[in-house]
Amino acid sequence: MTDPKISIRNLYKIFGAHPEEALKQAKAGMHKDELLEKHNHVLGLRDINVDMQDGEITVIMGLSGSGKSTLIRHLNRLIDPTDGEVIVNGENIMTYGEARLRELRRTNMSMVFQKFALLPHRTVLDNVATPMIVRGSTRRSYEAEATKWLDRVGLEGQGAQYPHQLSGGMQQRVGIARALTSNSDIMLMDEAFSALDPLIRTDMQDLLLELQRELQKTIIFITHDLDEALKLADHLVILKDGEVIQQGEPQHILMNPGDPYIVDFIADINRARVLRARTVMERTKEPRETNGEVRTTATLEEVIAQGKGNADLTFRVMDGDRQVGILSMRNVLTALAATVDASGPSDRK
Amino acid sequence: MATYDWVFDSLGLRDWCDGSGASSAPMSMADLMGQAGATPDTTVWDTPFPSMNALNDACASFPQARELTRGLERGFLDIKDSLSVVLDPLTQPLSWALNGALWLFQETPWFVMIPILALIVALISRSVKLTGFILLVFGLLAFINYYDYAMQTLAIIAVCAFIAVLFGVPIGIAMSRSDRLERIMIPVLDMLQTLPPFVYLIPLIFLFSVTEPKLYGIAVILYAIVPVVRLTNLGIRMVDPEVIEAADAFGMTKRQKLFGVQIPLALPNIMAGVNQTIMMSLAMVVIASMVSAPGLGVLVLRGIRNLELGVGLVAGLGIVLLAVVLDRSTKAALARVNAAQKQ
């Protein structure tokens, strides 16, 4: 495996008057509630270690107060950590001075915000061109580039409007176009779609995946919505009370939840739509008598639909024209019920 | 004898009290009544507060209250000359500006001046109705022969409000960037705002000659600068923190952030401050007529002094009309700024 694009090492963040004192306690193993009670310091993040690979979407998921927004702000140092390192392209950005940091923010990283954070007094085109204007481009040189990205996110001809004249979904498209204009290889997205209504949110997720197939950026995406996380993530990190409780490939987490908290979390989702054939199949190359073929990336929902509801079928799972496994309906049904097995009495559904 | 004799006796200060001989303090009303033999019966109900005067009764060496105000006055008079040496040249441009503006506003003939004013209002408000109203007001003031007075008032406001904004906005920006400066400035601004306007005039009269325009210029600016400072500070502090975060995230320098984000987004508040500053300079320019500021205020003062009811009332109404004109024009400009950047 190549070196990760971004690597977070032993990151701690403590909010309060004397974070150094509280840091010792946190390192000694004190958790969020205890630290708040005994030392009146808020533990933002505790011993975070995450590697983010080049060209992947890393989704950081957690409920409000879990520290996910704090964590993403450490990546471009909008917030400075109490302890730990953030390594971007092999360099520890904690050692950066003001000018070098600004350079990083201008060229290596761009950010998309939950409430869009557009400049209300500038036109959509000027908003999209913000990263280039910041670098000192003249109107003539940024106009073509900004228009290109505006068209790419589906806002042809809206450049002369002001942000308040656009709907929420369109405003966030402007936000994404702005991030793309900076031509950085890392994109930070802080609950970028949380303020949008569900239908538009789905559109935006599709847009993001489409752009990602084309541009192969390193995207760090924050969300509190598990469906969104599972849809987008190549690598999923689950945060709770400022600590990483599980990280890995989303399908893997779904099948092997490592914590009762995660079991609760995944209880509500539609497993049939998220789990894929390759995750639940039996790995075998030997051919068997089957009722048909499915792709590795087919969701269980698609498999069930293909079997027309019959419960005693088996399928060959194909990667291209090569068989990689066998999927029986029994596997499918077991996988759908897995949450109940694993969670036992703690499951309320 | 006096009520608080025992204080000085028990502290062993009796010698010090009597040592300096008879009371050096000027005679008070109570002393005079005492000499006249009208010693009132003293009961415990009449026990005086241990004030400076009461203690002076017990001990002649203790200063009376009037020594305090006199000391302040003497102190001010002592530093006045050196203060003038510094302040005089610094504030001289203000006198020139005021004289220049007064000359310009009065020498420009009415048939040039009124259209120019209407044009300015039309440009900043883009409203035909308001422009018509301005023409009507100045026409009316000119018709009743108050045109010259109105122009004098307008000239002073133009200069003073301009200077107040010129200094007020940067002070407000500095305040918004430093919490410590804000903590220092807020009591100062509170004091400037609550100090009765007449009180400004007293030390200024000592510092500058009453014939100089800068005397009332400074008073007007000090009084009117407060709202623009306050609202600039507030406006910049109230800019959506997420937008500021976005500015940081895209690597804006402090200067780019200030001129590209903070000031434009604080503009509605700053404009509201400018509006208030103009209104307060109008209020102060009337009071400043007591220290030779020309304009409609002079007529109001004449109305009071000579009990010329009609002159006072008409001049007062003229001021109201002027206030309405200034207020509506700046508010129209403010509304246009607001419309351009509502979210």
Burial class (CB in 10 A: 0-12, 13-18, 19+), B121: buried
Which of B243, B267, B342 comes nearest A119 by C-beta? B243
Tell me which chain B residues have a C-beta less than 8 angstroms from the C-beta of A121: 264-265, 267, 340-341
CB pairs under 8 A between A and B: 65
The structure tokens 């350079």 sit at: A103
Q: Does pLDDT of A344 surpass 70?
A: no
Tell me which chain A residues have a C-beta less than 8 angstroms from the C-beta of B249: 76, 78, 105, 109-111, 188
Please answer yes or no on whether A105 and B340 come within 8 Å at the CB atom: no
Q: Does pLDDT of B141 surpass 60?
A: yes
Tell me which chain A residues have a C-beta less than 8 angstroms from the C-beta of B245: 78, 113, 117
For B298-334, how does the pLDDT look when each residue is reduced to its tens digit (9 = 90+)?
Answer: 999 999 999 999 999 999 999 999 999 999 998 888 8
Q: Does pLDDT of A343 surpass 70?
A: no
Ramachandran category for residue A109: left, alpha or beta (phi over 0 → left; psi -120 to 50 → alpha): beta
pLDDT at B341: 65
Q: How far apart are CA B102 and CA B212, in angstroms?
A: 13
- Phi, psi of A124, deg, nearest 5: -55, -45
Q: How far apart are CA B131 and CA B119, in angstroms?
A: 8
For A224-277, how does the pLDDT look when each residue is reduced to its tens digit (9 = 90+)?
Answer: 988 899 889 999 999 988 889 999 988 888 888 888 888 888 887 888 888 888
pLDDT at A38: 83
pLDDT at A264: 83
Which of B246, B260, B340 comes nearest A117 by C-beta? B246
Q: Does pLDDT of B10 surpass 90?
A: no
Which of A105, A119, A163 comes nearest B249 by C-beta? A105
Q: Does pLDDT of B342 surpass 70?
A: no
In B, residues 59-88, which contact A (CB 8 Å cutoff)? none
Please answer yes or no on whether B245 and A78 come within 8 Å at the CB atom: yes
pTM: 0.81
Secondary structure class of A43 (helix, strand, coil):
strand
Please answer yes or no on whether B251 and A162 come within 8 Å at the CB atom: no
Which helix or strand (DSSP H or E) is residue B166 part of? helix B147-177
Tokens of A244: 């990483």
Q: Does pLDDT of A108 surpass 60?
A: yes
Q: How far apart are CA B324 and CA B141, in angstroms?
A: 13
Please answer yes or no on whether A109 and B249 come within 8 Å at the CB atom: yes
Q: How far apart are CA B141 and CA B299, in angstroms?
A: 13
Q: How far apart are CA A77 and CA A311, in angstroms?
A: 53
Give the CATH number of domain B80-342; options: 1.10.630.10, 1.10.260.40, 3.40.50.1370, 1.10.3720.10: 1.10.3720.10
* B340 and A CB contact within 8 Å: yes
pLDDT at A177: 93
Tokens of A287: 């051919």
Please answer yes or no on whether A119 and B249 come within 8 Å at the CB atom: no
Q: How far apart are CA A276 and CA A268, in angstroms?
A: 17
Which helix or strand (DSSP H or E) is residue A187 part of? strand A186-190
Q: How far apart are CA A58 and CA A69, in angstroms?
A: 14
* ipTM confidence score: 0.82
Delimit the domains of chain B by residue range: 5-63, 80-342
Instruction: Provide the CB-side half-sphere exposure for B339 (13 A, CA).
Output: 7
Best of B250, B267, B341 to disrupt the A interface (most A CBs within 10 Å) is: B250
Q: Closest residue of B to A175, CA-based?
A: B246
Q: Does pLDDT of B123 surpass 60?
A: yes
For A278-311, how does the pLDDT look when each residue is reduced to its tens digit (9 = 90+)?
Answer: 888 888 877 777 788 888 888 888 888 888 877 7
Tell me which chain B residues have a C-beta less than 8 angstroms from the C-beta of A103: 251
User: Which of B79-98 are b and which e, b meaning 16 or more Cβ less than 10 Å from the residue's Cβ?
Assistant: eeeeeeeebeeebeebbebb
Write down the mean pLDDT value for chain A: 86
Smallest Cα distance from A114 to chain B, Å: 9
Please answer yes or no on whether B249 and A134 come within 8 Å at the CB atom: no
